[in-house]
Amino acid sequence: MEQKAVKPTETKLKPKLFSVMKTYTKEQFIKDVIAGVIVAIIALPLSIALALASGVDPEKGLYTAIVAGFIVSFLGGSRVQIAGPTAAFATIVAGIVATEHMDGLIISTVMAGIILVIMGLCRFGAFIKYIPGTITSGFTFGIAVTIVIGQVKDFLGLTFKNAPIETIDKLKEIGLCIGTINWQALAVGVLSLAILIFWPKKLEKIPASLVAVVVCSVLVQLTGMEVNTIGKLYTISDSLPHLTVPELSFQKIRALLPNAFTIAILAAVESLLSCVVADGMIGSKHRSNMELVAQGAANIGSALFGGIPATGAIARTAANVKNGGRTPIAGMVHSVVVLITLVALMKYAQYIPMPTIAAILFIVAYNMCGWRNIRNTVKTAPKSDIAVLFTTLILTVVFDLVVAIGVGMVMAALLFMKRMADVTEAHAWIDIDDEDTDPDNIALKKIPSNTRVFEINGPMFFAASDKYRYMLSDKGIDVLVIRMRNVPAVDAAGVETLMRIVKRCQRHGVKVVFSHVNDQPMQIMEKAGFIELVGQENFCDHIDTALARAQVIEDQIQPIKA
Q: What per-residue confidence (pLDDT) applies to 385? A: 85
Predicted TM-score (pTM) of this structure? 0.74
Q: How far apart are CA 496 and CA 419, in angstroms?
A: 21
Share of the chain above pLDDT 70, in %: 90
How buried is 366 (Cβ within 10 angstroms: 0-12 exposed, 13-18 middle, 19+ buried)?
A: middle
Q: What per-residue confidence (pLDDT) applies to 115? A: 97
User: Following DSSP, what letter does each residue of 351-412 receive, concatenated?
Assistant: G-BHHHHHHHHHHHHHHHH-HHHHHHHHHHS-HHHHHHHHHHHHHHHHS-HHHHHHHHHHHH
Mean pLDDT of 84-100: 90
pLDDT digits (tens, 9 = 90+) for 63-74: 999 999 999 999
Banded pLDDT at 178 (limits 50, 70, 90) = very high
First to last CA, the chain: 62
Q: How far apart are CA 352 and CA 523, in angstroms?
A: 66
Q: How far apart are CA 92 and CA 84, in angstroms?
A: 15
Write down the domain spans for the chain: 26-242+259-381, 425-561
pLDDT digits (tens, 9 = 90+) for 24-38: 999 999 999 999 998
pLDDT digits (tens, 9 = 90+) for 486-517: 888 888 778 888 888 888 888 888 899 999 99
Mean pLDDT of 333-346: 93
Mean pLDDT of 218-240: 89
pLDDT digits (tens, 9 = 90+) for 431-483: 444 444 555 565 567 888 888 888 888 887 766 666 666 665 556 788 999 99
CA dihedral sign of residues 42, 44, 48, 50: positive
pLDDT digits (tens, 9 = 90+) for 278-288: 888 888 889 99
Q: How far apart are CA 368 and CA 139, in angstroms?
A: 11
Residue 1 above 50 pLDDT? no
Q: Are 98 and 165 a contacting pair, CB within 8 Å?
A: yes
262-to-115, 123, 250 alpha-carbon distances in Å:
10, 19, 19
Q: How far apart are CA 356 and CA 375, in angstroms?
A: 29
The H or E element containing residue 482 is strand 479-486
Q: What per-residue confidence (pLDDT) applies to 6? A: 46
Q: How far apart are CA 274 and CA 319, in angstroms?
A: 12
User: Following DSSP, what letter does each residue of 126-165 receive, concatenated?
Assistant: GGGGGS-HHHHHHHHHHHHHHHHHHHHHHHHT---SS---
Mean pLDDT over each residue of the chain, to the nearest integer: 86
Q: What is the phi/psi pair of residue 285, to 5°?
A: -140, 120
- Protein fold of 425-561: Transcription Regulator spoIIAA (3.30.750)
Q: Angle at CA 155, nearest 5°, toward 154 and 160? A: 40
CA nearest 184: which of 218, 227, 224, 222?
227
